[in-house]
Chain A
C-alpha cells in the first residue's frame, strides 16, 4: 500500500512539474520548486463524488493544481471540521447545504472570501460576512406521480398540504437539511406561530416520513406515495440513472406559485478554511467561473449563481420562478427550527 501511495505521489509530482511549467497563477514565495509543491489543496466535499469529481478533474487539468478530495456526508464532515478546529488539514469545504456552512462559520473556522469574487453572486445567496458563498441553487418543489395525480389538484401553497384531501399522501424528509431551511424560511415569512401550526397540522395529516429526498422520489415513482416535498433536481438524477428523458418520467415537479415559501431557493456552497494556500482561492474562482457554473447547470440540473449562464433545461429561470423573497442569511437560526420540527412530532 505504502508503495502504491508513493508511486501515486511520485506520479503526481512528475505530472505537476510537467504541467506547472510556465504556470504563473500565483506568485511563488521562493523559487519555482516550492511553487510546484504548494500547488495542491485538500478539499472536504459533502457533495457526491460522482457529481463533483469530473469538475475537480477539469480544474486540475487546467491549473495543474492537485486536489485531494475527502468525500463524506455534509453533516458528518461539518462535525469532523468542528472537531478538528484549527488543526484541520482541509483547505476548502464544499457543502450540500448552507446550514452546514453556517455551523462551520459560526465557530470562526472560515477565512473571509475575496470580495470581488463574491460580488458576482446575488447577496441573497452568500454569507453577509463573506464567510461562504453559494455555488448552485435548488428549488424546493412538490414532486408528484403523474399517473395517480392530476396537476390541477395540486395546491398553490405548501400550507394547503395539511388539508384533508392530502391525508397520508405527502412524503416529507424532516431530518433533511433542505427541509429544515424551508422551515426557517417559513418562520421568517409567516411567523413562528403560523409555522408551528403548519408543522403540527402536517404531522397530524399522516405524512409519509422518509430519510432523504431521494427516497421520496423513488417512492413517488413506485406509486407508494402520491407526492412529496423535495428539491427540484432529484427528478433529473432519476432520469439520468434510468437513461430517460426527464419529461417522459412518471414523476414531475410542481412549483408553488406567488412567491410561496414552499418554493424556496436553497444553495449548495463553499467556504475556505485556509486562505494562506492560494490554490483555495483558485478553486473557488473556478467553481464560480462560466465553466464551473455551466457544469452545475448541465450535469446536476441546478441553478447557476452568476449572470450569463443558462439555467437547467425544463425549469423556469430564477427570475421567472416567483421564488419567495428571502435572504439566506436570515436562515441561520436553525436551532429553533429543529426544535419546532421535533416538537411537531415529525421526527420520531
Chain B
C-alpha cells in the first residue's frame, strides 16, 4: 500500500527539525579555519578524550544491558515473589537527573567516608548506569509482554532448557527492543554532561562544555561536538546491522494469547531477589537520602511554596508541550518507516538520532541562530523552546511509536481501503488507534526527559520562565543546597509519575 505524499512530507519536516543542530554545526564549522579545526580535533588531547568517552560509553552500556535485560526478564518471565513491585521500582531511577544522582552519591560518600573523594571513571560508570539502565529495561519489558510465547513453548517442547530457550528464542524475539534501547542508552552516555562534570571524568562532551568557559571559545566547542556526531554515526551503523527495520513480530490471531511460561527460581529465589533489588534500591536510595541530608543541613530556604508551585507548573507546561509536539512529528515518520522502509525513510530516521548525541548547549545555540536569523518574533518564546525539545527528544518518541506501528497489522489498513476508505483515513481510523499505547509511551518518555533537561532550557526559555530544573540550578549554583533540595525532590517526584505510568501499563500484562 502506498504511503500518502502528505505523510511523507510530514515525516521529512519532522526530520528537518531534528537536523537543525546539524545545519548549525555545518554553518559554524565552515567559518572555522581548517588548520585550527584540524588542530582542535586531531590532537593528543582529543584522542585521550575520545578513548575515555568510548570506554565509558561501552562500560555503562554493557552494565545497563545486563541490568535492563536481566530485570525485565525477572519481572516478566519468572515467579519471583513481589515481581510487580520490583517491576515498578526498577523503572523509577529514570526520573532522577544524572546531575542530581552524581551530587547525591558524592554527598553520601562525604558523609559515610569522610576525607575520601568519590570521583573518576568507575564512580561515573556506576552513577550513570544507575539512572540510565531503564532506557533498556522499559522497551525490553514492553517487548517481552507483547511477543508471542508460542515460539518459546515450541522450543521448550522440542527439548530446549529454559536458559537455552531464553537466549535462542526470547532474546531473538526481543532483539529490536534491546538494540533500540541500547542505542538510546549509548547515545545518552555520549551526550551526558551533568554526571561526568561532577564526577570529573574527562569525556568529549565535558570538553565541549569546557571550551565555552576556557577562553570563551565557542567555535572550538562546536568543532569538538562534530566528533560526537562521528561517534554516534558509528553507533548507528553498528545498530543498523543488528536491527532489521520493518520486521514484524505481530500475529493476526485474534485468540487470547497464551501466557508465557514463568520459571520458578526454586532455591535460588532468595539470592536472585537480593541481586535484583540491590541495584534498584541503591539507585533510588542514595540520591534521595542525599536530598534529605541537604535539607536538614543548610539554613537557606526556598522562597515559598508558591515558588515551587509555579516552577512545577512551568515544568509541566514546557514538558507537556514538548511531549505533544515531539510525538506528533514522530508519528508520520514512524508510519512511513513501518510501511515502506525505503532507503530515504531509514536515512531520515538515523539523522533523528544524531541530534540527540549533541550537548544541550549546541542544540541551544543552533536554535538561537535560527531564532535570531529567521524567526525573531518567536525568539525566547515557548515556541522556540518547544522546537529545541523536539530536536533533542525525537528519537525518544520515535522508538515506542515505531514499535507500535510495526505491530499494527497493515492488513487492517488494506481492509479499510478495500472497503472504500482513502489511505489517509485508513491510517487515521484504523492504525492510529492501534498505535495508541506506543504513542502514549513515547509521549511519557519525552515528558519525563524534558522535565530533567537543563542546558537548552536555560538558553531558550522565555526570560524569567523558571522550571524545577532551572530553580535547582540556581540554588546549587549559589551553594544553597538546602534551598535546592525541595526542587530536586519535586523534580524526581514529578518525573516519576510518567515513569510509573509507563511501567504500570506494561505490567498489566504480567500479573
Contact = CB atoms under 8 A, between A and B. Distances in A.
Given A238-B479, A337-B215, A347-B214, A222 B110 contact: yes
Given A241-B298, A243-B299, A222 B213 contact: no
B96 to A, nearest CB: 20
A80 B463 contact: no
Interface in A74-128: 74-76, 78-80, 82-85, 87-89, 99-100, 103
Contacts of A176: 213
Contacts of B481: 241
Contact of A214 (B207, B361, B373, B479): B479
Given A68-B463, A241-B480, A175 B210 contact: yes
Nearest to B462: A5
Contact of B372 (A68, A83, A347): A83
B125 to A, nearest CB: 16
Which A-B residue pairs are the 10 nearest by beta carbons? A348-B202, A243-B299, A338-B215, A103-B216, A75-B213, A50-B478, A87-B372, A334-B215, A75-B212, A48-B478
Contacts of B52: 348
A258 interface: no
Contacts of A337: 215
A334 B463 CA distance: 30
Given A51-B478, A80-B459, A210-B200, A223 B215 contact: no
A41 to B, nearest CB: 11
A204 B462 CA distance: 46
A156 interface: no
Given A89-B379, A241-B299, A342-B45, A100 B474 contact: no
Contacts of A57: none
A287 to B, nearest CB: 19
Contact of A347 (B210, B478, B483): B210
Contacts of B463: 42, 68-70, 89
A175 to B, nearest CB: 5
A209 B463 CA distance: 34
B438 to A, nearest CB: 28
B455 interface: yes
B197 A211 contact: yes
A79 B216 contact: yes
Interface SS of chain A: helix
Contact of B114 (A210, A222, A241, A242): A222
Contacts of A87: 372-373, 376, 379
Contacts of B218: 78-79, 82-83
A298 interface: no
B289 interface: no
Interface string A219-245: 100111000000000100110111100
A23 interface: no
A185 to B, nearest CB: 15
B277 to A, nearest CB: 31
Interface in A126-149: none
Given A87-B372, A241-B481, A49 B464 contact: no
B458 interface: yes
Interface in A181-214: 208-211, 214
A334 B216 contact: yes
B475 interface: yes
A123 to B, nearest CB: 23
A72 B376 CA distance: 20
Interface string A314-348: 00000000000000000000110110011000011
Given A75-B213, A84-B372, A211-B198, 5 more contacts: A1-B317, A71-B458, A223-B114, A242-B298, A348-B207
A177 interface: yes
B299 A211 contact: no
A326 B462 CA distance: 40
B210 to A, nearest CB: 5
A73 interface: yes
B115 A338 contact: no
23 contacts: A1-B313, A1-B317, A48-B477, A49-B478, A68-B463, A71-B470, A72-B459, A74-B213, A75-B213, A79-B221, A79-B365, A80-B364, A80-B368, A83-B368, A83-B372, A175-B214, A211-B197, A222-B115, A223-B115, A242-B298, A335-B217, A348-B48, A348-B207
Nearest to A102: B216
B299 A237 contact: no
A208 to B, nearest CB: 8
Contacts of B479: 214, 234, 237-238, 241
Contacts of A42: 463
Interface string B143-167: 0000000000000000000000000
B298 A76 contact: no
B369 interface: yes
Interface string B452-488: 0001001100111000001000110111111100000
A180 interface: yes
Interface in B364-403: 364-365, 368-369, 372-373, 376, 379-380, 382
Contacts of A70: 380, 463-464
A75 B458 CA distance: 13
Given A1-B382, A89-B380, A335 B213 contact: no
Tell which of B213, B458, B475 has the most Cβ of chain A within 10 Å: B213
B385 to A, nearest CB: 12
B49 interface: yes
Nearest to B481: A241
A327 B346 CA distance: 58
B216 A75 contact: yes
B458 A72 contact: yes
B372 A338 contact: no
B304 interface: no
Contacts of A347: 202, 210, 214
